[in-house]
Amino acid sequence: MPVYRDEGVVLRTQKLGEADRIVTLLTRSHGKIRAVAKGVRRTASKFGARLEPFMVADVQIYEGRSLDIISQAESLGSYGANIVDDYPRYTAASVMVETADKVTESEGSPQQYLLLVGALRSLSRNEHAPSLTLDSYLLRALSMAGWAPSIDFCAKCGTEGIHGSFVVQLGGMLCEKCAPVGAARIDAATVDLLDALLRGDWDRAEAHTAVTLSRGSGIISAYAQYHLERGLRSMEHVAR
């Protein structure tokens, strides 16, 4: 039976039968996989704790007929414990893994994997505010998946410059000529925040006021919900 080994981050787990779980992993080189972890719900399980959501593990998997089976798991990064210590961090991380699950629907990439691991690590170390880490992750994960919002040019006609309207449905900023009647206006500070988050410029992002940060979060969550079609169930529970 073919066996392969990869490192992956656990996105979600579902109960299966008496004591098993189906684990959804975003791996570095095999994309997103669903594999069965046998007996992990028993208290004497050897690797149950290593296959909880937000954990990064080195896994050995053998190919099954319908689902693959995890035979070994070694922990590479246990971010779960630090993340669940704080409720806002937990809800932010839940949205991140749900987003990763959706954007890698057809195929995953090493970049998506590294971005998610980086974001979870940053959350667990409490490097930045959870909602800011989440916003930056959402923008960058969507960009990698091909839904990058246009920030410094018009999404419709391509005219360069900072424009005054942001329309989620049309993919970003719009110039005066292209903006539909009644389009939501956006102030220069929020545009700067979006740009900073997309580039990962934390100093610039963190310098903004609470009002701007909250406006940015609103736009980013609407943008993510719209482009991921079925929306994110965990988004409404985010504690900001």
Partner 1 sequence: MYEGIVQELIDELGRLPGIGPKSAQRIAFHILQTESFDVSRLASVLVEVREKVRFCEICGNVTQEVTCSICRDPRRDATSICVVEEAKDVVAIERTREFKGFYHVLGGAISPIDGIGPDNLRIRQLMTRLADNTVQEVIIATDPNLEGEATATYLTRLLSSLEIKVTRLASGLPVGGDLEYADEVTLGRAFEGRRTVS
Helical axes 110-124 vs 87-103, angle rounded to 10°: 180
| Region binding partner 1 by CB under 8 A among candidate stretches 12-20, 147-155, 157-165, 167-175 | 12-20
Q: Beta strands 32-37 and 68-78: pairing type?
A: parallel
Distance CA 204, CA 45 (A): 46
Task: Give the one residue of 94, 190, 212, 217 binding partner 1; rule: CB under 8 A.
Answer: 94
Judged by CB under 8 A, does residue 53 bind partner 1? yes
Distance CA 15, CA 57 (A): 19
Judged by CB under 8 A, does residue 192 bind partner 1? no
Task: Give the one residue of 7, 35, 52, 122 binding partner 1; rule: CB under 8 A.
Answer: 52
Instruction: Kindly tell me which of 40 and 132 has the beta carbon lying closer to partner 1.
Output: 40
Q: What is the DSSP string of 4-64?
A: EEEEEEEEEEEEETTTEEEEEEEESSS-EEEEEETTTTSTT-SSGGGGSTTEEEEEEEE--
Judged by CB under 8 A, does residue 91 bind partner 1? yes
Judged by CB under 8 A, does residue 183 bind partner 1? no
Task: Give the one residue of 25, 31, 33, 90 binding partner 1; rule: CB under 8 A.
Answer: 90
Judged by CB under 8 A, does residue 98 bind partner 1? yes
Looking up tokens 């389009």, which residue turns up?
183
> Shortest Cβ distance from residue 124 to partner 1 (Å)?
13
> Shortest Cβ distance from residue 117 to partner 1 (Å)?
17
Judged by CB under 8 A, does residue 125 bind partner 1? no
List the one residue out of 134, 183, 189, 197 whose CA is nearest residue 154. Answer: 183
